[in-house]
Structure 1
Amino acid sequence: MDFKPNEEQRALASAVRDMASSLTPKDEGNGAPTGPQPFDPTGWSRMAEMGLLGLPFSEDAGGFGASSIEVALAASELGKARVALPYADAMAAAAALDAAGSDLLADVVGGEKVVLTAFGEKGGVWAPDQPTRTATGSGDGVTLSGVGVGNTDLSEAHAVVTTALADGELGVYLVEAPSVDRAVATFDGASAVRLGGREVLDAALALGNVAQSGEAIGAMEAALGMTVEYLKTRKQFGVPLMTFQALTQRAADMYVGVELTRSAVLFAAMALAEEVDVDAVSRAKYLVGTYGRLVGQEAIQLHGGIGMTAEYAVGHYTSRLASIERTFGDTRYHLARLAQGVGNHESVDVI
């Protein structure tokens, strides 16, 4: 399998890199901001104009006819630039709309409407297929009750995609103009449209995880690059830190982690371009969580005290990697998913 991007994909990555650099959080004197940021409508419009919101969707649906591979490559550049916009979450919601053939997808691709997800539970574990939310009615008379938790502030969302049970059956629903308080959406008899069942949920989470895993790769690459450059230029006892073998070995471990994770993420993106492969996505997400933590922690430690300061981006990358690890299922969740399916694979005799 060839993991090298083709000419068009390289051009896309270059264009996104140029655009994303202008959206990097700026230092206003107290260090560049980190953590959740207010929604930037101007930045969102620029992403829509570039076509990032419609990359994997067909032209008939208002998209650009690319694939999940391009989504991962674009997200990687956003991750490098520390763009604080909910791209992966929007991709998950858009995938649900696409799977259901919703007319709202065209507005999402064009940037006119912002649709995000609210699959989580307030104070609960990640289990989107076992929601406490309930749906009643049918057709145009469906209403939802309960609370959904998103991955980001939902205040600017025109609609949210969530899950609910109707007579014990799982469904994915679209709720327009939801009642929200930051990341919490309250459905108190809210009108909803059923988008589909488990297949729609799988499609949404697969694309969302591929997008955020691509973002993680970008953050890991940037943290590694900054660390290597620091080891080359920072001196101790009159010599560069790179002359100390123990430190270069730790940097080498970071490099191995980045490359292994990159291969898994690109494989998952390639698999998703053909069909929804939840196992490939879970393998990628497991490595993102495992090596994202390694790269982030090692980057801070190898930088010493400066790595902990608000003015330095290494800590920001580590914070973002920690957030990604807990979005759409954490490392333990995806490892447990893979463990449950071990029995479905053939045994290999090792001679």
Structure 2
Amino acid sequence: MDFSLTEDRRMLSDSLSRFLADKYPYDHRAKVAYEAPFHDAALWGEMCEIGVLYALAPEDAGGFGGAGFDITTVFETLGRGLSPAPVLGTLLASRLLTAAGADQASLLDGSVRYAAAIGELDAPYDLDGIETTAEGGKLTGRKSVVYGGNDAEVFLVAAKSGGTLALYEVKAEDADVTGYGMIDGGGAAELFLDGTPGTEVLSDARAALEDALDAGRLALCAEAVGAMDATNEMLLEYLRTRKQFGVPIGKFQALQHRAVDLVTEIEQARSITILAASKMGTPEQAHFVAMAKSLIGRAARLVAEEAIQMHGGIAMTWEAAVSHYAKRLVMIDAQLGDEDYQLERVMAGYAA
């Protein structure tokens, strides 16, 4: 099978790569990713003009993509550039609006910032554990770790309504939002709802929520692949240039073997991400996305740990880009369900 990018996807990837290299180099990223709003808000509009968000939505929703490989194209490039922009939260929101058949023109052009408020403290991944309630258009509860919620203007909130999970649109100005930065850069928020007014967007939203979470997990897998590629390139360059006993340390056979093992892990991660992307929109979507997220949680952590060990002490410093890539790779595992949680989903799929 031919897994090469289509012309449109290649052009989008190239354009986004140039944008990140020119406008979001490492030094700039390090300055903005850890201080509110935890990304460069002034560059958000420029990124949207490239078509990044339009690529995440299908044509009937106003975009020009929306398929699994559109998601991986965008997020692999973002991962390679270590972008802290709140694209993950926007993707989740776009998938939900698409399922609801709602207008999302302002989301896609970047003029209004959306975030999806799904997880809770006691139910970070499990929809069955959601305790937020909606009654008479008023929402009560707390949503935790809402990606991009720190400067979102509109939240799409999953809440129990009667015996079903429904989706509500809540304006940030009507809610209590506590924003904060994540340890690896980028922003999130806690959303507190106490009789907060909300507009129902979708009355039975379980399937849409599951799909949005799967799309987010696939995006994280692709982001990890891009970040692993960049980390490995930095590692190989270091092995070629760092000398010990008068020779580059890359000449040492033990380090060569470890470097080859990392390439194998990265290619396995890339392959299973491609497989998961190909299954989006099919009955097997959840199963293969869970497989990919579980494998990548392990592989990304290994790449991060090995890159730090082979770089030595310099990889623990703030100034070394590899330290920030390693931190992001480790944290990707925790987002939208870690390695163990995804493995349980895979096993449940086989049992069914």
Fold match, TM over 0.5? yes
Deviations 1:71-111 (A, max 9, x none): 211211111111111212210111001110112x1110011
CA shift for structure 1 position 36: 6.9
The alpha-carbon distance between structure 1 residues 320 and 225, as it changes in their structure 2 partners (threshold 3 A), is same
Which residue identity does 1:88 align to in structure 2? Answer: L
Counterpart position of 1:94: 94
CA shift for structure 1 position 25: 5.5
CA shift for structure 1 position 231: 0.8
Question: 2:26 touches 2:321 (CA, 8 Å); kept in 1?
Answer: no
Deviations 1:240-293 (A, max 9, x none): 111111111111111111111111112212221556711111111112211000
Moved more, 184-193 or 106-115: 184-193
Match of 1:189 among 191, 195, 204: 195
Which residue identity does 2:196 align to in structure 1? Answer: A
Q: Distance in 2 between matches of 1:341 and 1:276?
A: 9
The alpha-carbon distance between structure 1 residues 166 and 338, as it changes in their structure 2 partners (threshold 3 A), is same
Which residue identity does 2:176 align to in structure 1? Answer: S
1:15 aligns with 2:15: yes
Question: 1:23 touches 1:81 (CA, 8 Å); kept in 2?
Answer: no
Counterpart position of 1:134: 133
Counterpart position of 2:177: 180
Q: Distance in 1 between matches of 2:218 and 2:121?
A: 25
Counterpart position of 1:170: 165
Match of 1:229 among 237, 262, 272: 237
Which residue identity does 1:143 align to in structure 2? Answer: K
Moved more, 156-165 or 294-303: 156-165
Question: 2:213 touches 2:336 (CA, 8 Å); kept in 1?
Answer: yes
1:148 aligns with 2:143: yes
The alpha-carbon distance between structure 1 residues 41 and 332, as it changes in their structure 2 partners (threshold 3 A), is same
Secondary structure, in 3 states, of the residue corresponding to 2:157?
A: strand
Deviations 1:298-340 (A, max 9, x none): 0111100111110011110111112221111111111111111
Q: Distance in 1 between matches of 2:122 and 2:267?
A: 35
Q: CA RMSD in A?
A: 2.2
Question: 1:206 touches 1:276 (CA, 8 Å); kept in 2?
Answer: no
Counterpart position of 1:44: 44
Counterpart position of 1:271: 279
Which residue identity does 2:81 align to in structure 1? Answer: A
Paired residues for 1:1-351 under 5 Å: 1-24=1-24, 26-27=26-27, 38=37, 39-65=39-65, 67-103=67-103, 105-122=104-121, 125-137=124-136, 142-177=137-172, 178-182=175-179, 183-192=189-198, 193-195=200-202, 196-272=204-280, 277-344=285-352
Question: 1:129 touches 1:198 (CA, 8 Å); kept in 2?
Answer: no
Which residue identity does 1:215 align to in structure 2? Answer: E
**How high is the sequence identity, in percent, across the aligned residues?**
36
The alpha-carbon distance between structure 1 residues 238 and 34, as it changes in their structure 2 partners (threshold 3 A), is farther
Q: Distance in 2 between matches of 1:261 and 1:197?
A: 31
Secondary structure, in 3 states, of the residue corresponding to 1:326?
A: coil
Q: Which runs of 5+ in 1 are unaligned?
A: 345-351
Secondary structure, in 3 states, of the residue corresponding to 2:53?
A: helix
Q: Distance in 2 between matches of 1:265 and 1:229?
A: 26
Q: Distance in 2 between matches of 1:329 and 1:7?
A: 33
The alpha-carbon distance between structure 1 residues 92 and 125, as it changes in their structure 2 partners (threshold 3 A), is closer
Deviations 1:121-180 (A, max 9, x none): 23655323421211113xxxx221000013435232111123222234222332222321
The alpha-carbon distance between structure 1 residues 72 and 20, as it changes in their structure 2 partners (threshold 3 A), is same
Q: Distance in 1 between matches of 2:315 and 2:260?
A: 19
Q: Distance in 2 between matches of 1:339 and 1:48?
A: 39
Which residue identity does 1:180 align to in structure 2? Answer: V
Which residue identity does 2:330 align to in structure 1? Answer: A
Question: 2:86 touches 2:148 (CA, 8 Å); kept in 1?
Answer: no
The alpha-carbon distance between structure 1 residues 66 and 145, as it changes in their structure 2 partners (threshold 3 A), is closer
Please report the TM-score for the alignment, with normalisation by the length of structure 1: 0.89
CA shift for structure 1 position 34: 5.6
CA shift for structure 1 position 116: 0.8
Secondary structure, in 3 states, of the residue corresponding to 1:55?
A: helix
Which residue identity does 2:340 align to in structure 1? Answer: R
Q: Distance in 1 between matches of 2:22 and 2:130?
A: 39
Q: Distance in 2 between matches of 1:311 and 1:197?
A: 44
Please report the TM-score for the alignment, with normalisation by the length of structure 2: 0.89
Which residue identity does 2:107 align to in structure 1? Answer: V
The alpha-carbon distance between structure 1 residues 333 and 179, as it changes in their structure 2 partners (threshold 3 A), is same
Secondary structure, in 3 states, of the residue corresponding to 2:96?
A: helix
